[in-house]
Every structure is written in structure tokens, then in C-alpha cells.
Amino acid sequence: MCVGGSATLQAQTVAGASYSWTGPGGFTSAAQNPVLSNVTLANEGVYVLTVTLNGCSKTANAFLNIDALQPYVLQYESPYCSGEGESSPQNSWSGSGVYSSTPAGLDLDPTTGAVNPALSPPGTYTVTFTPLGCGLPQQVTVVVLPGVMLDGIYHD
């Protein structure tokens, strides 16, 4: 679970039972399946569930692990001239993620983030990288400039 996310503590349904949860930071709840919203590192730890039925109680423990948001840097060597070859981003994120762009038209590999200006119409694009794991999406601007045609040949 990542900082800022939500977690639901779940208990098996026992007809007629009452539930009591306790946890880090003074957390208490009488709900069967309480929701922790916008979690922080302070929410990490052991949560104890007590289920009571007909005066008899049983307890169970659950551990909630919270990962901190990981910072990273995303950059492209933009602007590009139309006709240039493929270029990959500089991305310090150590895991995987998904690249996307708006508006449509930028030739972009969704896995590697490589752009191909030669196959993209000139324009200004917003590239978004959504990391898998505990990182926030980042957006950068990529500009593809029109090439110059001299003597029927494109020049960058």
C-alpha cells in the first residue's frame, strides 16, 4: 500500500457478532470492515481485531505495510525536429510504468516512453508517465517542430 491510498480492513462475517479493531496511532473502530483513507506512514503496523459472540471473544492480527512515495525524474530532450529518429526519455524511476500522451498523434511507445518525431506530426504534446508502485504520475511537454524542406529534402 502506498502513502495517500486507502485500505479496507476485512473481517469474516459472523452472524450476530460484534467487531472491535484497534491499531497504530490510537485507531479504533467497531465496523466489521473499516476503511483507512489517505494513509500515512503512521498507519503502518499491527491491527488487532476482536470478534465477540455470545460473550466469547477471539482475536486476530493483521499487518498493514505502507510504502513511502518514491521520487523520480522524467525528462525528454525536447524540442525535436520533424524527421529526427527515435529518442528515449531520461527516467530515473527504477520500476515499470505506462507512458501516454495527449493530444493524439505523438508516436510514443507506452512501455519505454520512446518517441519517434519522424512519425509524429509537428505539435506540442503532454506525455504522462504513470509508475507502477508508490510514485505519483508525472507529466512533461514534448515539442515536435516542423522540418525544413530544401531542394525537396527535409533538413533538421
Q: What is the DSSP string of 104-124?
A: TT--B-TTT--B-GGGS-SEE
Res. 84: pLDDT tops 70: yes
Q: How many domains are there within the chain? A: 2
100-124 burial by CB neighbour count: b if 16+ within 10 A, else e? ebeeeebebeeeebbbbbbebeeee
Distance CA 3, CA 69 (A): 6
Structural domain for 109, as ranges: 74-155
- The whole-number average pLDDT for the span 77-85 is 89
Does 56 reside within a domain?
Answer: yes
Does 41 reside within a domain?
Answer: yes
Distance CA 133, CA 1 (A): 9
Q: What is the pLDDT of residue 68?
A: 87
Same-domain pairing of 14 and 58: yes
- State pTM to two decimals: 0.67
Please, which pLDDT band fits residue 148 given cuts at 50, 70 and 90?
Answer: low
Does 32 reside within a domain?
Answer: yes
Nearest to 110 by CA among 123, 97, 91, 95: 97
Same-domain pairing of 91 and 122: yes
- The whole-number average pLDDT for the span 31-36 is 96
Please, which pLDDT band fits residue 1 given cuts at 50, 70 and 90?
Answer: confident
More confident residue, 142 or 83: 142
Distance CA 142, CA 80 (A): 8
Does 23 reside within a domain?
Answer: yes
Q: Which of 19-28, 82-91, 116-125 has the lowest mean pLDDT?
A: 82-91
Cα 82 to Cα 35, 54, 74, 142: the distances in Å are 51, 76, 22, 12
Nearest to 101 by CA among 83, 74, 81, 82: 74
Same-domain pairing of 87 and 56: no
Please, which pLDDT band fits residue 104 given cuts at 50, 70 and 90?
Answer: very high
Does 95 reside within a domain?
Answer: yes
Q: What is the pLDDT of residue 124?
A: 97
CB 104 within 8 A of CB 75: no
Q: What is the pLDDT of residue 153?
A: 56
Res. 32: pLDDT tops 60: yes
